[in-house]
Amino acid sequence: MVDTIYSAIEFYGKGDPYFGGTAADWALYKTEDGRHAFISAAEAQRCKLVMAYFPTAAEAENAGAAARTRKGSISAVPIKPRLEVPTAQISWIVGNKHVGEEDGELAEDFADRAKRAGAADPDLIAQVVAFALACHRANQALVAHFRL
């Protein structure tokens, strides 16, 4: 069973700024126009942006590399979904779907399900969608492994 989703962090500079260093490590967020950008936590909070979550480490690193504007190093960071994310139910529902279903359709379905269940927090909805896609990737990998 899948138990992790991923985010991307850009590590930039060296040394703690409090002690004269230049480090400025930023997370990847989804901007208002739907793109991804590395933004400081304070700026993201001010703009009410949602962190970008991904089903696999490779997808997080690829999105981070595409969004990079500084010369920092990109890393995928594993994230345990919030307790409110119904992981067992999501895994069961995804397990009953066809592995060939398009990612966009699956993401839209789970975003709608989360909203109908009363989720209003965009961060929670983003984690639900990322977890559903992670389960979908795991199912696709099983089918490929067993050549079904």
52 in helix, strand or coil?
Answer: coil
**Tens of pLDDT along the chain (148 residues)?**
688 999 999 999 888 777 888 888 999 999 999 899 999 999 999 999 999 999 999 999 999 999 998 888 999 999 999 999 999 999 999 999 998 999 999 999 999 999 999 999 999 999 999 999 999 999 999 988 897 6
Per-residue confidence (pLDDT) for residue 67, from 0 to 100: 94
Side-chain half-sphere CA neighbours of 137 within 13 A: 17
Per-residue confidence (pLDDT) for residue 91, from 0 to 100: 95
- Both tokens of 88, joined, read 């067992």
Between CA 146 and CA 148 the distance in angstroms is: 6
Between CA 132 and CA 115 the distance in angstroms is: 15
Q: Distances in Å between the alpha carbon of 91 and those of 7, 48, 74, 115, 134? A: 20, 29, 29, 18, 9
29 in helix, strand or coil?
Answer: strand
Per-residue confidence (pLDDT) for residue 58, from 0 to 100: 96
DSSP per residue over 78-112, as a string? EEPPPTTS-HHHHHHHHHTS-TTS-HHHHHHHHHH
Do 134 and 80 form a contact (C-beta atoms < 8 A)? no
For residue 28, the surrounding DSSP H or E stretch is strand 26-30
